A and B are shown apart, each in its own frame.
Chain A
Amino acid sequence: MRSRAAASILTGAGFQEVYSMGGGIRAWKGLVAEGIPEAGMTYFSPATRPEEMIALAWLLEDGSCKFYESIAKIIEDREGKGVFENLKRSEENHKTTLWKMYEELSGKAPAPEFPDTVISAEPRGDVMEGGMSVSEALTWSEGKELKDILELSISLESNSYDLYLKMEKKVEDNRSKQVFKVLSEEEKKHLEQLTSLFNKRL
């Protein structure tokens, strides 16, 4: 009902095309993200430079990379191992893309301490997509079944997909917009791979 009320308000305010989603989020069969609206974005002031967003994205990709690498080593399921190795490689590529983007925007190679030099606030170091710490996630994963690890990875990827969509909207620089768009599309593919394996192992 709230969405119908909201739709009326917007229509009344002169919005051209407004649709209320029937059944609300309960009717949604698909991926959802968690976390407060500013999740991952809290580190930015409204005037955030694209470099800072790129640095944050790089940091999260780096964490995910480490997580997937460790998981690929500990799980025995052959197909699962393959999926996590692929994800690790893909996040590596994302790091490279972001690194180049950073160079392009700032006109110089990132300092050895990158990305800490660019990100002024938390998080630092040991975090990955979804804002969870890598060591926390690895400790949690010990002795867990593949499907539980897949479930965790799915929620991480949903959150990073959500973050990239928001970054794409927020950033004004067109090249950066393009980069975030590519990244969000790739995270969506990761989600598809993870969910398809998850379905098989349920």
Chain B
Amino acid sequence: MSVLDYFKPVSTWSAEKVKEFLHQKNPEDFNLVDVRQPKEYEQNHLPGAQLIPVGELPNRFAELDPNKPTIVY
């Protein structure tokens, strides 16, 4: 990826919107990814979130299904 990728528009959902979405869907219907560091995850995370620190994401995105809606925080 190039530095220009950072300027691509990224859709943002409010926490409220995320909560509503998680409430309506089944866990197998989406990816919920915590991209912070393991220490932060350990302190608190959204129930069911999968930890992939942002630095590891380029090597690990294959762990996620690209066809499912994906929420990152």
Chain A positions near chain B (C-beta within 8 angstroms)? 2-25, 27-37, 158, 161-162, 165-166, 168-169, 177, 181, 184
Contact = CB atoms under 8 A, between A and B. Distances in A.
Interface of B: 1, 5-6, 8, 10-15, 18-19, 26-28, 33-36, 38, 41-48, 50-51, 54, 57-58, 61, 64, 66-73
10 contacts: A5-B35, A8-B10, A14-B66, A17-B70, A18-B11, A20-B73, A21-B13, A23-B15, A34-B42, A161-B47
B11 A19 contact: yes
B10 A4 contact: yes
A84 to B, nearest CB: 22
B41 to A, nearest CB: 6
10 smallest A-B Cβ distances: which pairs?
A165-B48, A21-B73, A32-B44, A6-B35, A27-B15, A162-B47, A17-B69, A37-B51, A7-B10, A19-B13
B50 A8 contact: no
B5 A8 contact: yes
B57 to A, nearest CB: 5
B5 to A, nearest CB: 5
Nearest to A5: B54
A169 B73 contact: no
A28 B15 contact: yes
Nearest to A32: B44
Nearest to A27: B15
Given A15-B70, A20-B72, A32-B47, A165 B27 contact: yes
Contacts of A165: 27, 47-48
Contacts of B73: 3, 20-21, 24-25, 28
B15 A9 contact: no
A185 to B, nearest CB: 10
A190 B27 CA distance: 19
B58 to A, nearest CB: 6
A2 B34 CA distance: 10
Contacts of B18: 19, 21, 28
A169 B12 CA distance: 25
A194 to B, nearest CB: 14
Nearest to A28: B15
Contacts of B34: 25
Contact of B54 (A2, A28, A169, A177): A2
A23 B61 contact: no
Nearest to B18: A21
A129 to B, nearest CB: 13
